[in-house]
Amino acid sequence: MKKMSVREITVGALLIALAILIPNVMPKVVIGPASFTLGSHVPLFISMFFSPLLAVMVAIGTTVGFFMSSLPIVVTLRAASHIVFAVLGAWYLQKHPETVLTNGKFQLVNIKFQLFNLIVGLIHSAVEVLVVLAFNLVDLGNAGSYQGGAFYFFFVLMGVGGLIHSLVDYNIAYFVTAAVSKQFTIPVFTAAKNLFRKKSAA
């Protein structure tokens, strides 16, 4: 397995710290009984532009951080589930860095990236729904009773709401990382630029 450099470990530690801090300082959108914290997934999404290994580090570090804090255990379990989409997404970006490009440029209006974003979001929300559903079944012996019903909570709020939250956060991460990549080396962005230069020179 590839070893992480000191730079990657440092970046990972900073992203973990941000991921733990954000839920405590950022505004929440509350649609009872669910709540969505703006930007809470951004650090993990940023790690996916580096490597699958860094994404694993940030996912695990965030989970441990949540476990050691006063956040509810279900939040920790949801954080642990993020390792699924993070590894798959980071692996895909490493194999297909051109996903972040539109005609050699980084733009939010990027069909390839937004399709990738949608797929990651579907995996993200589906796994979170399964984790929360399993937690409720174990904890309560049933799917739980919620205003509007269990279907509304799990599949509308957690499913559709979680998907929208994921899409928004990944676009924020993409915008921030694209801006930072102009001054610093971000592996996926650098690989994408190099691929475009090779195609242009051919």
30-44, 99-113, 142-156 — which is least confidently predicted? Answer: 142-156
Q: Within a domain: residue 188? A: no
| pLDDT for 79 beyond 80 | yes
Q: Within a domain: residue 161? A: yes
Tell me how crowded residue 23 is: count the other CB atoms within 10 A of its CB.
19
Q: Within a domain: residue 131? A: yes
Work out how many domains the chain is built from and give that number. Answer: 1
Q: Within a domain: residue 134? A: yes
The answer to whether the beta carbons of residues 31 and 51 sit under 8 Å apart is: no
Containing structural domain, residue 160: 6-97+104-181
**191-202 residue pLDDT tens:** 999 988 888 776
Report the pLDDT averaged over residues 136-145. 55
User: Cα(133)–Cα(4) distance, rounded to whole angstroms?
Assistant: 35
Report the pLDDT averaged over residues 86-104. 93
Tell me how crowded residue 153 is: count the other CB atoms within 10 A of its CB.
25
Q: Within a domain: residue 20? A: yes
User: Cα(161)–Cα(68) distance, rounded to whole angstroms?
Assistant: 27
| pLDDT for 4 beyond 50 | yes
Interior angle at CA 88, CA 78 and CA 192, nearest 5: 125
> So what's the pLDDT on residue 141?
45
Q: Within a domain: residue 195? A: no
Interior angle at CA 116, CA 168 and CA 27, nearest 5: 15
User: Cα(75)–Cα(114) distance, rounded to whole angstroms?
Assistant: 27
User: Cα(147)–Cα(124) distance, rounded to whole angstroms?
Assistant: 24
The three state secondary structure string of 30-43 is EECCEEEECCCCHH
Q: Within a domain: residue 79? A: yes
- The pTM of the full predicted model, rounded to 2 decimals, is 0.88
CATH code, domain with 136? 1.10.1760.20
User: Cα(41)–Cα(168) distance, rounded to whole angstroms?
Assistant: 9
Q: Within a domain: residue 37? A: yes
Reported as a pLDDT band with limits 50, 70 and 90, residue 124 is very high
User: Cα(144)–Cα(152) distance, rounded to whole angstroms?
Assistant: 12
**31-77 residue pLDDT tens:** 555 566 788 999 999 999 999 999 999 999 999 988 888 777 888 88
